[in-house]
Amino acid sequence: MTDTDKLFSAIQTLKPNTPLVFRQDTVTEETFKTIEWEVSGSFTTTNPHSELSWAAVKAEMDKL
């Protein structure tokens, strides 16, 4: 399982069915900040989900 797969799996575990676009090859705190989150039909890099912080997602990724 790649880190990108782990990222998507972790987000799915923490907040199922969260629409997003991730255009990076590596997963780091910096690239996490580039995720494009869908909010009301448009995309933003401002994370609207408090439960999907880098620390929470990384902790979930580390379990995989």
The pLDDT of residue 28 is: 98
Report how far residue 39's alpha carbon sits from residue 55's, in angstroms, rounded to the nearest whole number: 22
Q: C-alpha distances in angstroms, 30 versus 10, 16, 27, 35, 54?
A: 17, 23, 8, 10, 9
Q: Can you give the pTM of this predicted structure? A: 0.93
pLDDT value of residue 11 = 98
pLDDT in tens, 3-58: 999 999 999 999 999 999 999 999 999 999 999 999 999 999 999 999 999 999 99
From the CB of residue 47, how many other CB atoms can be counted at a distance below 10 Å? 17
